[in-house]
Amino acid sequence: MIGISVDPPEINQRLSQKLGYTYPMLSDVKTEVIRRYDLLHPGVGPKGTDIARPAEFLVDSSGTIRWVNLTDNIAVRARPEQALEAFDEFKNTPP
């Protein structure tokens, strides 16, 4: 599991420590990866900055996206059981 944010590394580090995240938080300040996955949410961040749309992806070892939860609402995220169900479904699907 990784997180990707438009925030610089020092902000991601502080947020991770504050919230107790145990996974890496990557910084995409130029929004290159965020744009590649069509996740840019222009102008809705603080002071009209661009932010990433909330999204969760399950990506296999070959880089194939197996599941996506995507929303325009910053308050809506996949529930843990949704992600675990998607993982179990992927895990039990023959290659």
What is the DSSP code string of 65-91? EEEEEE-S-TT----HHHHHHHHHHHH
What is the DSSP code string of the chain? --EEESS-HHHHHHHHHHHT--S-EEE-TT-HHHHHTT-EETT-SGGG--EEPPEEEEE-TTS-EEEEEE-S-TT----HHHHHHHHHHHHTS--
Q: Specify the pLDDT at position 95.
A: 61
**In terms of pTM, does the model score above 0.85?**
no
pLDDT tens digits for range 29-87:
999 999 998 998 889 888 998 888 888 888 888 888 888 888 777 777 888 888 888 88
